[in-house]
Amino acid sequence: MAAKLDDKLSSILEDDSVLNGNVSALELLGRLEKRLYEVGPVLDDAEQKQFTNKRVKKWLLDLQDALYFADDLVDEISTKAAIPATQRDPGNSSSWSRLVDSYIEDTGDMEKIVGTLESVVAKKNHHRLKECAKVDMSSWRTPSTSLVVSSDIFGRDKDKEKIIKLLLDDTPHAKSPVIPIVGMGGIGKTTLAQLVYNDEQVQQKFNVKAWVCVGEVFDVLKVTKTVVEKATSASCNMNDLDSVQQRLRTEVTGKKFLVVLDDMWTNHYDDWKTFLIPFQCGSQGGKILVTTRIDAVASMVKTIPAHNLSLLNDEQCWLVFANHAFSASESRDRLALEKVGRKIVEKCKGLPLAAQSLGGLLRTKDNIRDWKDVLMSEIWEFSEDECRILPALRISYHYLPSYLKRCFVYCSLYPKNYEFDKDELVLLWMAEDLLQQPKSGSILEEVGYRYFNDLAARSFFQPSKNGYKDSFVMHDLMHDLATFCGEKFFVRISEHEKVAQHDTKTRHLSYDVNDNYSVLKMLEACESLSHLRTLYQIKKKFYGEHKEGIDPCCLLAQLKRLRVLPFQSFEIDILPDSIGELIHLRYLNLSGTLIVTLPESMSNLYNLQTLKLAECEKLKKLPSNMQNLVNLRHLDIEGTDLEEMPKKMSKLKDLQILSYYIAGKHEENGIGELGELTHLHGSFCLKNLENVKNSGEASNARMDEKIHLNDIDLTWSSFEESEVCDSQSEKDVLDKLHPHKDLKKLYMCGYRGTMFPDWLGQSSYHNMTELYLSGCRNCLVLPSLGQLPSLERLVITDFNKVKKIGGSFYKGDGTHQHQETPFRSLKSLQFFSLSCWEEWESYECDDDDDAPFPQIEKLSIWNCPKLRGDLPTFLPSLKSLYIRGCEELGCYLPRAPTIFLMEILGKQEARMRDLPLSLQLLRIEGKQLVDSLFEAMTHTQPTSLIQLQISECSSAISFPGDSLPPLLQDLRIYNCKNVEFPMQYQQHHSLESLYIYNSCDSLTFFALPVFPNLLFLRIERCENLTSLEVSHSQSLRELWIEECPKLVNITRLPASLRELRISECGLLGEDIERKNPHIWPSISHIPYIKAATSSWSGPLLEWYNPALHYSRDYFLLLLHHPLTHPNLRPFITFLGVALACLLARCPRWFARDESEQTWIKPN
């Protein structure tokens, strides 16, 4: 922080016009610069001593507090310095200078700020701090040795086996194999290396063995000497590297050696290559094992992929803990202690060192109260003598560069187990000025990503388990370290966390916005924290869930030094003008709020870098003077419905992220304003392209120069087909909107021309992987796309005038004589709603190897009602085929030897040529297809088929051999009245789900024992079904019987049944009303019943017994007729009010008096 502040001061002092020649002010800033120069060299020494010297720690806290005050002052002055001179004119009524000047005066006396810092700096001499002192790490760790007690190690057997297998592998290598073991501090890298080093097989394998604890500095001479001494069991007195390396080469020549370099930190490549030279003379089979916390070190040394050591599970962690907490001759009440101990182990989060340290701490504690105290305490509350966890992790922290330390500590604002977003964190670091200025050719965000990746590589961050690529978490103990280092400056407010209370030094505050206690405490705290820089929301829910009744805008008047302000969870519809007074503000998040417009005063936020307005669905307008926000880098307006863009957006030249731009009708907000925005990154949508009058305007957008955009969406507003467009003009406009050649994804919606420009299919777009063309309703011909070399997904939808897909579709732009295989990388091809498409012309080629679509895995054709003729005949890689709503399609389906899923629905007359053995899911509709399927099954048994759905077939057909496919798990038959259901005599063990709807008229009796593993059975509108045998099933969980008018008999329901739904089975209802005990058993074991037949309501209540234990939460009864049964009220009481309210849908039912109507309201 001191270094960053010094850089800012230097810039200010170079321009004395900033302070209007105020000599005293310039003198004070000179004094401030001098103090910063004095304190810088002793900070490393102070940082180490603070852990053992409380007075040094207090001095550092006071220093940081004074630096924060100084930084606020300097930031206000540098803001004025950055404002163009024309706007500093005191006579200019709209001048930002007036606002900044008032801030400088409001911060108090500059003399006081500088004087406070001078006073603190002067005290450094009292603590005997040394300049540029070399940090002694010996007190933080004990050097490792090769010895280990293997019986004390748990949970590393598989890791040990894997490393030993690599060590014993004699496969010839050009260089000595180097195997890195990587993981966070305390995870057990050294322990694993010790286990391997002392393994009996390893001992016998290697002639020469050496264990070296490397440490923070990789001194080639020192490390090489140590290896020589271990290899010879004698001291090495040589002090020049050449002699030592010669000696080492002699010792390893022709021998199998194993060298372990434990705890390696530096990745100086030249030193590493020099160290390896003597080992090139060793025998094949020599190995080097390196342990490190840093991925970059592992990447430098590895010749074999690194072994990343994972955390232990809770049971393994418990074994480590118990081994150190309990002795063999234990006299304490172990059962009582173990219950608490297992909860303590959960805090270790799989880190063996933590389990070992806490177990050792409690080894001598007999009182269960002591164990509970440890359970309720945070790691940083233990002294270093008691617990070695933080000192071990602190080594990782110590080796961080100072800029990474600040970034890491900032993450203490997150609660434990919080999943944070990489991109978001980089923006926060940037807002807090934690990033160094980038070198030429780089941008600030890239610096932030390098910082992040460096911290992740050192195990400070870990990928979260939610599957999102850029979502990360901190290990609980790393979080403890960040909290410990953040001290009073970083505070979390939460009802569920034990954290330090805020005081006047607090600059960064986070709170749980989903917790009312936390929000109220935040509001209370902010009353005394006028110098707060961060007010961060911890939000675990999505937009749209607002905190009602709380207006955080009242905070703006007192928190004028904020850098970071997220308000996205509050029910804000108006942002006050006072927002414009937060001149330090860099990050403002209003996403998901109810705001309609933003105040014009926001144009005063000169330092604003990030403005997030995502999902502000009511927002219609941005401030008219947005062009003043010249430092804005991220403008997220995704999900908003802006009517137009502000004028002169071209002045925001640093914009990196802009969700979309609306091309206006006027020059000041037209498409030409995009021309200067050449630094846009990521995804970008260009809307309302119908407002672009000609190709000249389109060319001014300079879309081909926006080389950092990965995805571009070009959108024209919807129009009536009767609307007349100049097709050539439309094509010329699109031609000038061509993007750069490295684009990855292109979306185009609503293009009004009849032809596409040539650039769209050019093979020079070598990185384009996805292309979406939608709503291009005037287009007569599809563009030539077959030569896009990397295209993997193509979606074409809502083309109303395309009648034929011909040879031009497969070709390129004609600039190359040699044409590659068309669509050679395409994996997914989807056609939707091509209402006039009639023909898909085949591609002429000599053999199948040159056929198009060699890699296609998914083909979808939906709602193309006029398509007829052939489809591609052979698709060797096809995995899934979807055809729906293509009534005139009557061809054979493509040959696809690897197909997994086929869904052909609608009235088309397509046919199956054969039955692929790879097919697992098949859903088909129509007589032609179903007939061809059953015909194919007579020749080829579908041995892989898992799910089968057939529908809309009138043919009288039966399953071949009167049996189902052997692996079939899910069978659905819809509207196939003449299909004969196979009630086979042999059991079918695979079937788990069966649904028969309006089908199988020949089915009169259904016996569930034929399907012993059936879980779900639904029979609906099966007209001739009279009897259902289900009593012997041990697996059935859901039974649905609907509209089976002849069904009169259901045997006793199985004990496994969890859900029963029966409706409109009249004859069965009559038998139930007679309460036949052989047909209808007790229903007490079924948690969920839905009875939608009016005649059943009385019988169900008749058998209801209040003494039985029913599953209250899931029991459901629908009543459709008035009831007078005496069990009604206790039954509804049993259901509970929430479920009983379902009765409100029923006709008015009988009640004894009006008072009884109050507990359920009839219709």
pLDDT tens digits, one per residue of 95-129: 455 555 554 554 457 888 999 999 999 888 888 88
Whether 91 shows a pLDDT value over 50: the answer reads no
Q: What is the average per-residue pLDDT within 365-392?
A: 74
Is 179 in the same domain as 58? no
* Residue 15 pLDDT exceeds 60: yes
Euclidean distance between CA atoms 464 and 315, whole angstroms: 21
pLDDT bin (cut points 50, 70, 90) of residue 850 is: confident
Angle between helices 368-376 and 352-362 (to 10 degrees): 150
Pairing outcome for strands 901-905 and 682-687: unpaired
The rounded distance, in Å, linking the Cα atoms of 467 and 469 is 6
Which residue is listed with tokens 């979406």? 772
User: pLDDT by residue (tens digit) across 1035-1076?
Assistant: 999 999 999 989 887 777 888 888 888 888 877 755 554 555
Does 614 have pLDDT greater than 90? Answer: yes
8 and 38 both lie in a single domain: yes
pLDDT score at 1148: 39
- For residues 332 and 904, which has the higher predicted lDDT (pLDDT)? 904
257 strand-pairing partners: 208
Asked which of 443, 465, 493 is the last residue of a domain, the reply is 493
Could you give the residue ranges of the DSSP H alpha helices within 689-726?
A: 695-700
Q: 574 and 720: one domain? A: yes
Q: Is the pLDDT at 750 greater than 90, yes or no?
A: yes
At residue 66, does pLDDT exceed 90? yes
Residues 703 and 572 in one domain: yes
Looking at the fold, whether 293 and 386 belong to one and the same domain comes out as: no
Tell me: pLDDT of 1104 over 50. Answer: no
The DSSP 8-state label assigned to residue 714 in this structure reads E
Per-residue pLDDT band for 1003 (boundaries 50, 70, 90) equals: very high
Task: Point out which residues pair with 949 in neighbouring strands.
Answer: 923, 972
Neighbours of 1089 (CB within 10 A): 20
Question: Using an 8 Å Cβ cutoff, are 591 and 567 in contact?
Answer: no
- Return the CATH number at 482: 1.10.10
Confidence of residue 1137 (pLDDT cuts 50, 70, 90): very low
Mean pLDDT of 555-562: 88
383 and 294 in one domain? no
Alpha carbon dihedral 392, 394, 395, 401, in 10-degree steps, equals: 160
- State how far the Cα of 529 lies from the Cα of 508, in Å rounded to an integer: 10
The model's confidence at residue 840, banded by pLDDT at 50, 70 and 90, is: very high
Domain assignment of residue 147, yes or no = no
Return d(Cα 458, Cα 453) in angstroms, integer. 9
* Residue 712 burial (CB count, 10 A): 21
* Res. 1121: pLDDT tops 60: no
Quick one: 460 exposed, middle or buried, by C-beta within 10 A (0-12, 13-18, 19+)?
buried
CATH code (residue 595) = 3.80.10.10
Q: What is the pLDDT of residue 194?
A: 94
What 3-state class would DSSP assign to 500? coil
Q: Is the pLDDT of residue 1078 over 60?
A: no
Look at 1115 and 1089; give whichever has higher pLDDT: 1089
324 lies in which domain range? Answer: 314-390
Q: Which residues contact 685 (CB under 8 A, 6 or more apart)?
A: 659, 660, 661, 712, 713, 715, 747
pLDDT band at 1156 (very low <50, low <70, confident <90, very high): very low
Q: Is residue 1088 part of a domain?
A: yes
Considering the domain architecture, whether residues 1160 and 1105 belong to the same structural domain is answered as: yes
Range scoring the smallest mean pLDDT among 432-436, 488-492, 810-814: 810-814
Does 908 have pLDDT greater than 60? Answer: yes
In this prediction, residues 390-403 reach a mean pLDDT of 81
Q: Is the pLDDT of residue 322 over 60?
A: yes
- Across residues 647-673, what is the average pLDDT? 95
| Percent of the chain surpassing pLDDT 90 | 48
DSSP readout, 524-573?
HHHTT-TT--EEEEE--S-TT--BTT--GGGGTTT-TT-SEEE-TTB--S
Q: What pLDDT, in 10s, does the model give residues 184-217?
A: 888 999 999 999 999 999 999 998 999 999 988 8
Would you give the distance in Å from CA 1086 to the centre of its chain? 40
DSSP conformation letters of 863-897: S-TT--SPPPSB-TT--EEEEES-TT--SBPPB-T
Q: For residue 1128, is pLDDT > 70? A: no
pLDDT value for 615: 92
User: Does residue 1140 register a pLDDT over 60?
Assistant: no
Q: What is the mean pLDDT of residues 570-578?
A: 86
pLDDT band at 18 (very low <50, low <70, confident <90, very high): low
Q: What helix, strand, coil percent values describe the chain, rounded to 5?
A: 35, 15, 50
Measured distance CA(588)–CA(568) in Å, rounded: 9
The encoded tokens of residue 2 equal: 């001191």
Q: What is the DSSP letter of 869?
A: S
The pLDDT assigned to 1141 comes to 41
What pLDDT, on a 0 to 100 scale, did the predictor assign at position 557?
Answer: 82
Q: Which of 77-91, 482-496, 778-792, 1120-1134 has the highest mean pLDDT?
A: 778-792
Q: Which of 3-17, 537-551, 1031-1045 has the lowest mean pLDDT?
A: 537-551
pLDDT at 1077: 55
| Highest averaged pLDDT of the listed ranges 191-205, 506-520, 551-565, 1139-1153 | 191-205
Asked if the model's pLDDT at residue 146 lies above 50, the reply is yes
Between 189 and 16, the more confident residue is 189
Contact 883, 861 (CB under 8 A): yes
* Averaged pLDDT of the chain: 84
Q: Which residues contact 296 (CB under 8 A, 6 or more apart)?
A: 267, 454, 457
- At 1147 the pLDDT is 41
Rounded CA gap, 962 and 985, in Å? 9
For helices 422-431 and 444-457, give the axis angle rounded to 10 degrees.
120
Task: Kindly state the percentage of the chain with pLDDT values over 70.
Answer: 83
Dihedral sign computed on CA atoms, order 221, 226, 227, 232? positive
Cβ neighbours around 219 below 10 Å, total: 15
**Domain match, 515 and 489 both:** no
Q: What are phi and psi of 408, to 5 degrees?
A: -65, -45
Location of structure tokens 């045997």: 1051
* 3-class SS of residue 751: coil
Residue at 961: amino acid letter: G
Three-state secondary structure along 894-920?
CECCCCCEEEEECCCCCECCCCCCCCC
> Is the CB of residue 702 less than 8 Å from the CB of residue 729?
no
323 and 350, same structural domain?
yes
Instruction: Report yes or no on 1010 lying in a domain.
Output: no
Q: Are 730 and 763 in contact (CB under 8 A)?
A: no
Q: How many domains are contained in the chain?
A: 6
What is the distance between the alpha carbons of residues 802 and 755, in angstroms, rounded to a whole number?
A: 11
The answer to whether 428 and 610 are in contact (CB under 8 A) is no
Query: For residues 68 and 120, is the Cβ–Cβ distance under 8 A?
Result: no
Q: Assess contact for 1010 and 1032: CB atoms under 8 A.
A: no
Residue with the larger pLDDT of the pair 105 and 577? 577
pLDDT, tens digit, 9 for 90 and up, residues 920-933? 999 999 998 999 99
Per-residue pLDDT at 739 exceeds 90: yes
Give the per-residue pLDDT at 1117.
44
Mean pLDDT of 968-975: 96
Q: Look at 908 and 1085; give whichever has higher pLDDT.
A: 908
Structure tokens at 578: 């006072």
Secondary structure element (H or E) that encloses residue 1130, with its range: helix 1128-1135
Least confident residue range of 361-370, 530-539, 800-809, 1132-1141: 1132-1141
According to the model, what pLDDT value does residue 497 have?
58
Does residue 1030 lie in a domain region?
Answer: no
Q: Is residue 960 part of a domain?
A: no
Examine the domain organization and report whether 115 and 169 are in the same domain. Answer: no
The Cα-based distances of 1090 to 1061, 1083, 1119, 1147 in angstroms read: 5, 12, 10, 17
Q: What pTM was estimated for this model as a whole?
A: 0.82
Q: How many CB atoms lie within 10 A of CB 371?
A: 24
Rounded Cα distance, 679 and 654, in Å:
7
Separation between Cα atoms, residue 315 and residue 309, nearest integer Å:
17
550 vs 360, residue with greater confidence: 360
Task: Check residues 694 and 552 and name the one with the higher pLDDT.
Answer: 694
Residues 6+ apart with CB under 8 A from 254: 281, 282, 283
Computed on alpha carbons and rounded to an integer, the radius of gyration of the chain in Å comes to: 38
Biggest CA–CA distance in the chain, Å, is: 109
The 10s digit of each residue's pLDDT in 251-298 is 888 888 999 999 998 889 999 999 998 988 766 778 999 999 989 899
- The answer to whether residue 172 sits within a structural domain is yes
| Distance between CA atoms of residues 39 and 485, nearest Å | 20
Give domain status of residue 457, yes or no.
yes
Model confidence at 441: pLDDT above 80: no
Shared-domain flag, residues 569 and 605: yes
Cβ atoms within 10 Å of 530's Cβ, excluding its own = 12
Predicted confidence band at 366 (pLDDT cuts at 50, 70, 90)? confident
What pLDDT does residue 137 have?
53
Q: Indicate the residue among 440, 467, 493 that finishes a domain.
A: 493
Give the confidence band of 423 by pLDDT, cuts at 50, 70, 90.
Answer: very high
The pLDDT of residue 169 is 87
Does 788 map to a domain? Answer: no
Q: Are residues 159 and 240 in the same domain?
A: yes
Considering 366, 390, 414, which residue would you say is the last residue of a domain? 390
Is the model's pLDDT at 725 over the cut of 60? yes
**Environment class of residue 184 by beta-carbon count within 10 Å: exposed (0-12), middle (13-18) or buried (19+)?**
buried
